[in-house]
Amino acid sequence: MAGSDAPDRDKVLIDRDGLQGLIDALIDDGYQVIGPRIADGAVVLEPVAGVDDLPAGWRDEQDGGRYRLVGGGGDAVFEFGPGPQAWKRYLYPPTERLWRARRRGKGFAIEDEAMETPRYAFLGVRACDVHAMAIHDEVFDGGRGTDPGYLARRRAAFVVAVNCTRAGGTCFCVSMGAGPKVDGGFDLALTELTERDRHAFLVEAGSERGAQVLARLDRRDAGDGDVSAAEALVARTAETMGREMVADVAALLGRNLEHPRWNKVAERCLTCGNCTMVCPTCFCSTVEDVTDLTGDTAERWRKWDSCFTVEFSYIHGGSIRREGAARYRQWMTHKLSTWHEQFGSSGCVGCGRCITWCPVGIDITEEARAIHDSEGGE
């Protein structure tokens, strides 16, 4: 996977034409380039063919339950925060057929599922989402059972990361140790420079295949001033986060499973599952068996699910978590606390999507802070 065979990371500069050259080179190498585009009033992740497809000049305004795109960003193409989609939709698709069986005489024969592995090149992956990919690597290849489809797509993917130069209103990646600067897990990493009447990208390679692609682009060596300018932009981003998670949140939630705050938040929570759908690390799923009208073919499909649905915790006799308070507690404590026990890290990367896309603006950092403050913490 990206970043496993990193060479010396000499930094170079490319301009807007160089960015187009990068996209062209990836397409020539057989990748389908997936990047940010504007659709339906949001920045989404879809195939791109060139720089003109990117959301140049657009920024976003994000707060609890609020997302707006605004113009005025100049020529910058990456001056926006995480949108409603995470990269998991390409590595861990919302629907996937697991097997198919056809009638053979009086029985059924299961057919081998042909595995087609698309070659994706992800353009514009934020540090939080790079960390989310690493978390899914542990989930789907952590020795507890592997997902061959995910692993094949992940190993084939080429990752072009972007260091954030502008913090979003609901971002809190710094307090989760997940950004705003990428620290590995990429083939190439870009920092967009738009100061002093210029538009350039500082680029470093994080893998051998990244270095090979970079060598084919029109570029020039970066000077100390270029590197300093990029570092200053990322440092400013780190200092202007829109949110902050309380320290030692895993232990905090672990000792407050019966806290009255769970009922308080349930008065607002719609249990719609939006937070889990937009989250880059949530991976809950269900399976559904279907047949055709003749009864000659049967299929099993895996589909995204959410711990906010009543049916998700159903066992013989009924659902375990029938109340909204129990379902919200399950989601938040798993994400921030018990995930450590399962996978050795937090399940949250501080992207803020769950805050922005909650219809009623429930803020995971605010809920953790409320429980923290109730203990008399500072």
Domain check: are 263 and 222 in the same one? no
Is residue 162 within 8 Å of 190, Cβ to Cβ?
yes
| pLDDT confidence of residue 287 | 93
Residue after which a domain boundary falls, among 239, 267, 300:
239
| 217 located within any domain | yes
Helix (H) or strand (E) holding 201: strand 200-205
Our count of domains for the chain comes to: 2
| 264 located within any domain | yes
Domain check: are 172 and 276 in the same one? no
Residues in CB range of 203: below 8 A, 6 or more apart: 11, 12, 13, 14, 188, 189, 190, 214, 219
| pLDDT confidence of residue 143 | 67
Domain check: are 230 and 360 in the same one? no
C-beta neighbour count of 104 within 10 angstroms: 10
Distances (CA, A) of 134 to 8, 280, 343: 22, 11, 11
Domain check: are 177 and 309 in the same one? no
Residue after which a domain boundary falls, among 239, 270, 294:
239
| pLDDT confidence of residue 2 | 57
Distance, in Å, from the CA atom of 23 to the CA atom of 33, rounded to the nearest integer, reads 7
| pLDDT confidence of residue 1 | 62
Name the pairing type of β-strands 120-125 and 32-39.
parallel
| pLDDT confidence of residue 9 | 52
| 228 located within any domain | yes
| 272 located within any domain | yes
Domain check: are 314 and 171 in the same one? no
| 328 located within any domain | yes
Which of 85, 167, 87, 166 is CA-nearest to residue 121? 87
Domain check: are 141 and 32 in the same one? yes
**Which domain covers residue 307, as residue numbers?**
249-374
Residue after which a domain boundary falls, among 239, 265, 290:
239
Radius of gyration, CA atoms only, the chain = 22
Domain check: are 275 and 338 in the same one? yes
Instruction: Give pTM, 2 decimals.
Output: 0.91
β-bridge mates for residue 70, sequence order:
59
Distance, in Å, from the CA atom of 228 to the CA atom of 250, rounded to the nearest integer, reads 36
Domain check: are 27 and 49 in the same one? yes
Distance, in Å, from the CA atom of 363 to the CA atom of 307, rounded to the nearest integer, reads 18
| 6 located within any domain | no
Backbone angles phi, psi at 114, to 5 degrees: -70, 125
| 244 located within any domain | no
Which two tokens mark 357? 């896309």
Domain check: are 287 and 156 in the same one? no
Q: Look-up: residue for tokens 């005025």? A: 72
| 115 located within any domain | yes
Distance, in Å, from the CA atom of 349 to the CA atom of 90, rounded to the nearest integer, reads 19
Domain check: are 228 and 97 in the same one? yes
Domain check: are 273 and 232 in the same one? no
Distance, in Å, from the CA atom of 198 to the CA atom of 13, rounded to the nearest integer, reads 12
| pLDDT confidence of residue 6 | 43
Distances (CA, A) of 144 to 139, 150, 335: 8, 14, 18
Distance, in Å, from the CA atom of 297 to the CA atom of 13, rounded to the nearest integer, reads 56
Per-position pLDDT tens, the chain of length 378 = 654 444 335 799 999 999 999 999 999 999 999 999 999 999 999 999 999 999 999 999 999 999 999 987 688 999 999 999 999 999 999 999 988 999 888 888 888 777 789 999 999 999 999 999 999 999 998 766 788 899 999 999 999 999 999 998 999 999 999 989 999 999 999 999 987 778 999 999 999 999 999 999 999 999 989 999 999 999 999 999 989 999 999 999 999 999 999 999 999 999 999 999 999 999 999 999 999 898 899 999 999 999 999 888 888 888 888 899 999 999 999 999 999 998 999 999 999 999 999 999 999 999 999 999 998 755
Domain check: are 188 and 263 in the same one? no
